[in-house]
Structure 1
Amino acid sequence: MNLLDSPVSLTILAIIIVSSLIGFGSPNQILIKFSLNPYSTVHYRKYYQIVTHIFIHLDWMHLLFNALTFYFFAPQLEFAIGSERFALVFITAGIVASIPSIVKNKDNPNYYSLGASGAIAGVLFSFILFYPTSRIYMFFIPIGIPAPIFALIYLGYCVYASKYHSTNINHEAHFWGAVWGLVITIVMFPNIVEYFIQTIKHIF
């Protein structure tokens, strides 16, 4: 599916790229104001950060990785479920993905989180429900991984990394964004579960 034929995907990607580039030019102003800082979100009622943090990124690699992932999966999902539902999946996944960070860090003024990873994880897992026979290609790995197997590996790694890897990557946001992508898709399309199960039976 062509990105130009997917108006919501195209709009979201354009906003992500433009807002991130603006943030690169004035990091102390844009990044701090629009990143998710749970302390400010809760104590100063900067609720807009729950949404705005989705559309800005820390650096070029962060932006490039998320933009490419979004580009490969978003248009196909928008084609499958429609533009309005696609927008709902993306935005709500980004919001839900931020909730654990808000709860855990609401009293930590030094914690910041930003990027579309949680929202994109929701898009990716919704995509997997509709296209279970697809293969997911990871960077530097030339062999495609069957989508259901990739989903299990992804969730397992997120759980492991969130417990044992102390990095700046918000693995919990990735996990809950992905889970929410499954949940909201099943709510909107209850028959998708049976379709998914019947389809993967022919794979394994």
Structure 2
Amino acid sequence: MSVTVLIILVTAGISVWAWNNPTIMDRWIMNPYRVASRGEYYRLLTSGFLHADWGHLIFNMLSLYFFGGFIEQVFGLLFEGSGALYLIGFYLVGILVSDIPSFLKHRNDPGYNSLGASGGVSAVIFAAILFRPLTPIYLYFIPIGIPGFIFGALYLAYSYYEAQRGRGNVNHDAHFYGALFGIVFMIVVYPLVLPQFIEQIAGWRPF
């Protein structure tokens, strides 16, 4: 079994468990106020294994499935013999890092909660885009694919804009900072990915 599939199964299992056990949901959800006032820093990580509903869970896990397999192969080549451990660590740190801005922004708000694997999933997606920037990405049922590097730029701009607005229930900060973490991590561990990325997009033509 691949590490990506294992992460998906564990996340799905914990999410369903929490839906049927309100105590677990309350104890593990990301509540910045409780983190700050009670020192419950574990919530920065456990919240990444919780989801609001089936739609939220399926969307995140499908995204992880489509991109995680490729990054799993990349890590297997970069860290021979330790690729699985690096992928798990990369994913978990992506969740952790992406929750820090939300923690700092809402640590005095007892009513704010956040959950979902979006930070870790965004890290995986953007790591994949660095290696394959021209691979088309399809949104929902739109039949026209958007090249990865264009999708990535639009995604970052939209996430940043919505995070600044601060409206709605979606944690756009987690999307934005999870994506940035994925980009920075890959450039640090494999610097050649940046010139390769630039070379690929420089040769791209829309028609």
Q: 1:202 offset after TM fit, Å?
A: 2.1
Read off the aligned partner of 2:74 and give its amino acid letter.
A
Q: 1:84 offset after TM fit, Å?
A: 2.6
Taking only aligned residues, the RMSD between alpha carbons, in angstroms, comes to: 1.2
Read off the aligned partner of 2:188 and give its amino acid letter.
V
Q: 1:79 offset after TM fit, Å?
A: 0.7
Whether the 8 Å contact between 1:89 and 1:185 is mirrored in structure 2 is: no
Q: Runs of 4+ in structure 1 displaced over 4 angstroms?
A: none
Q: Percent identity?
A: 38
Pairwise mapping of residues 1-204 of structure 1 onto structure 2 (< 5 A)?
Answer: 4=1, 6=2, 8-26=3-21, 28-82=22-76, 83-164=84-165, 166-204=167-205
Q: Secondary structure at the match of 1:141?
A: coil
What CA deviation, in whole Å up to 9, does each residue of 1:118-146 have, x standing for no partner? Answer: 11001000010111221111102111100
* Range 82-91 or range 59-68, more displaced: 82-91
Distance change >3 Å, CA 106–CA 165, structure 1 → 2: closer
Q: Secondary structure at the match of 1:166?
A: coil
Whether the 8 Å contact between 1:80 and 1:130 is mirrored in structure 2 is: no
Read off the aligned partner of 1:16 and give its amino acid letter.
T
Distance 2:166 2:108 in 1: 22
Instruction: Kindly tell me the number of residue pairs found equivalent between the two proteins.
Output: 198
Q: 1:165 offset after TM fit, Å?
A: 5.9
Read off the aligned partner of 1:18 and give its amino acid letter.
G
Q: 1:180 offset after TM fit, Å?
A: 0.7
Distance 2:121 2:140 in 1: 16
Read off the aligned partner of 1:181 and give its amino acid letter.
G
Structure 2's unaligned 5+ residue stretches are: 77-83
Distance 1:42 1:165 in 2: 21
Q: 1:89 offset after TM fit, Å?
A: 2.1
* Range 29-38 or range 144-153, more displaced: 29-38
Read off the aligned partner of 1:160 and give its amino acid letter.
Y
Structure 1's unaligned 5+ residue stretches are: none
Q: 1:176 offset after TM fit, Å?
A: 0.5
